[in-house]
Amino acid sequence: MVFKESERLNSIPPYLFAEIDEIIKKKKDEGFDIISLGIGDPDIKTPDIIVEELKKQADNPENHRYPSSYGLKALKIAASNFYKRRFNVDIDPDSEVISLWGSKEGIANIAYTFVNPGETVLAPDPSYPVYKIGTMFAGGKTVTIPLREENDYLIDFSNINNENAKDAKIIHANYPNNPTSAGCGLDFFEKLTDFALENEILVCHDNAYGDIYSDQSNKPVSFLNAKDSKKTGIEFYSLSKTFNMTGWRISIAVGNSSAIKSLGKYKSNVDSGVFNAVQYAAAKALDNYDGLISKNNEVYNRRRVKVCNMLDKIGLSYFKSGNTIYIWTKVPEGYSSASFAKLLLDKASVVVTPGSAYGSCGEGFFRISLTISDERLEEAIDRISNVF
């Protein structure tokens, strides 16, 4: 028997790249050596100190029971200390932090927490798909805000019409940005805060790449560094990319206490908190942040420079940024994002993510991930260079 999906699930637009997936599968079956530059998932292992803490805590029977939906006290304290040390932001561990099953979960559930059917949510285009899909699941309507290269992929608030600004319940933002790799300065977060305060909108800032950067000159700031930001928003700080913990499913949201409380109220009705041993391990990661991130950044910097040099040689242009694990690259003249991705797969057995997967404004670009070994990265770009 085939059961009819709910309308909300069924209304997800058909997957644009099913055709590409078909080709990948076929080529793999035929024995081609496929290299994927499409994976936004670190290949470097979780640091030992975090794994050791998990082992220790997993052994303690006190951690075997239901966790709180609002988060473990030890993690909330570690989060507060981390925000102070890393961003010089004061966070009250009792009322301004919640732990999440990853930022993806928090972002999806924030829509159920605040959005009524028919209500408006603002989300950038291109962007991480969950902003839009979470809103749709909750019955809301996403109004997209184009991110343009000529504006360094920052949200241009003058481009949001008054009606949408007045109607909006939530605005999503994400810097350093996936997929474009663009960073932003404190001045941008101040504009975002002013816009949200003026229109009484909840800011949901997705800080998934805040600690992946090439040098001090582009060290990211937090949304919560902006004056009065806590009055109008929260920040999702994911441990996934920074600490190579994508599989652990742990993240925190910090900021506006009333929004945090409401999100916790929603969550307590649909989940119980993350395994306490994982939360202790996350606290360990945050406590040891300073020693842990430089090693990651060394690897990504080396790969970023390598790939950029090779792209320069081939003559493919890309957005220059020292942030994130991505390189946002322009499709050559005469191709669409999808047709170029298909060409690379056909002729070079290399998978890239078409920019249009992140929204219509991503058309004309593709995303390269720096999450495979240096050798494989080199080989992939080498193969691309032989295609045209």
Ligand X SMILES: *Cc1c(COP(=O)(O)O)cnc(C)c1O
The residue (of 44 and 312) whose beta carbon lies closer to ligand X is 44
The residue (of 23 and 130) whose beta carbon lies closer to ligand X is 130
State which of residues 206, 211, 235, 287 lies at the interface with ligand X (CB under 6 A): 206
Radius of gyration of the chain from its Cα atoms, rounded to whole angstroms? 21
CB of 27 to ligand X, least distance (A): 26
Q: Which stretch binds ligand X (CB under 6 A): 5-13, 23-31, 99-107, 193-201?
A: 99-107
Could you write out the three-class secondary structure of 23-90? Answer: HHHHHHHCCCCCEECCCCCCCCCCCHHHHHHHHHHHCCHHHHCCCCCCCCHHHHHHHHHHHHHHHCCC
Helices (H) and strands (E) in the chain, counts: 14, 12
Q: What's the chain's length in residues?
A: 388
Q: Which stretch binds ligand X (CB under 6 A): 89-97, 116-124, 234-242, 263-271?
A: 234-242
State which of residues 178, 256, 349, 371 lies at the interface with ligand X (CB under 6 A): 178
C-alpha torsion sign, points 205, 291, 274, 40: positive
State which of residues 17, 23, 24, 40 lies at the interface with ligand X (CB under 6 A): 40
If binding means CB under 6 A, how many residues of this protein chain bind ligand X? 14
Kind and range of the H or E element at 142?
A: strand 141-146
Q: What is the DSSP string of 326-340?
A: EEEEEPPTT--HHHH
For position 103 contacting ligand X by CB under 6 A, the verdict is yes
The residue (of 280 and 326) whose beta carbon lies closer to ligand X is 326
CB of 149 to ligand X, least distance (A): 19
The residue (of 104 and 349) whose beta carbon lies closer to ligand X is 104
Structure tokens at 261: 């409380």
Spell out, one character per residue from 104 to 143, where the chain touches ligand X: x when CB under 6 A holds, - when not: x-----------------------x---------------
